[in-house]
Amino acid sequence: MKLGMLTACLPGWDLDRIAKWAAGAGYEALEVACWPSTGGRDFEASHLPVADFGPEQAERTQELMARHRLSISALAYYENNLHPDPLRRAEIHAHLRASIDAAQALGTGLVGTFVGRDPGRSVRENQAEAETVFPALVEYAGERGVRLIVENCVMEGWHPDGYPGNLAYSPELWEWMFGLGLYLNWDPSHLTWIGIDPVETIAPYAGRILHAQAKDVELDPRARQRYGFFGKTAKNDPWETGWWRYRIPGLGQVDWAKVVDRLHEHGFDGTLSVEHEDPVWGGTPGRVTRGLEIAHRTLRPHVIETPEEA
């Protein structure tokens, strides 16, 4: 197992600077953000020009990683592959294919994305649509030696009423999406706030967890008594729930000793990648990197080499 970080938390830094900092802080791998440069949500970042990625860029990126003794665990393009606007959906699929091409050029076998959802349609209608959309994307990736991993983020901000906007939030839906050829970028923070014990989900699905994200969550049960499970209704920010917030590993409710131990027990030998979305340790690069240092200090004692690597 390697300890890595998702680069999206430092959108203003280029990949060279991130790699130098990450290696110096003790990280071993980068999950590289590759959204288009226009972005969308405020934390999206473009650290690889995948839409125009040729042999020169691939060679330079590989040399950068080798110089800092880092690996690329995955490319990250988390977007709504079931977007209701057909033109926007086509743009998303084109960029996802470009991300797959870049992963092939780099020898990186994983690209992260979302299933997504059309918020105007039911879950079953979206599932039926996904069953027409994903086979071609999975085949495109497979032909290039790449597998698509889906983060189990609820993406409630994509739904006007705060309901799930990404159909990969529960084990029931994981079993369905595995049938489409998709794998899991497993994140315990989302499971925790929707009432699922993340530790209990590792053993049954270990064979489909190819990558894992380290993000914590802080719950406020008293606030939940006011807003209910689905959070605030009157809000300016669609991502504001009112009773929970993401935190750096070690500052929330997730039991990282148990999580990492269970991953080790069931043979996980991929990357545990810190996804920094902590509002306390955010806002400036200095605070973000401080948060990443806290995460590293929390996780480093638990993330150890497997016997095969030692």
pTM: 0.94
Please give the Cα distance from 252 to 158 (Å, whole number). 24
Q: Which two tokens stand for residue 112?
A: 């992260």
pLDDT (tens digit, 0 to 9) for every residue of the chain, 310 residues total? Answer: 999 999 999 999 999 999 999 999 999 999 999 999 764 554 478 999 999 999 999 999 999 999 999 999 999 999 999 999 999 999 999 999 999 999 999 999 999 999 999 999 999 999 999 999 999 999 999 999 999 999 999 999 899 888 899 999 999 999 999 999 999 999 999 999 999 999 999 999 999 999 999 999 999 999 999 999 888 887 888 888 889 999 999 999 999 999 999 999 999 999 999 999 999 999 999 999 999 999 999 999 999 865 554 4
Torsion, Cα of 217, 221, 223, 228 (10° steps): 100
In the chain the domains, ranked by start, together with CATH numbers, are 2-299 (3.20.20.150)
Residue count of the chain: 310
Helix (H, G, I), strand (E, B) or coil at 14: coil
If we measure between CA atoms, which residue out of 30, 166, 26 comes closest to residue 110?
30
Closest CA to 148 of 178, 173, 183: 183
- Using DSSP bridges, classify how beta strands 244-247 and 216-219 pair: parallel, antiparallel or unpaired: antiparallel
Strand 209-214 versus strand 216-219 pairing type? unpaired
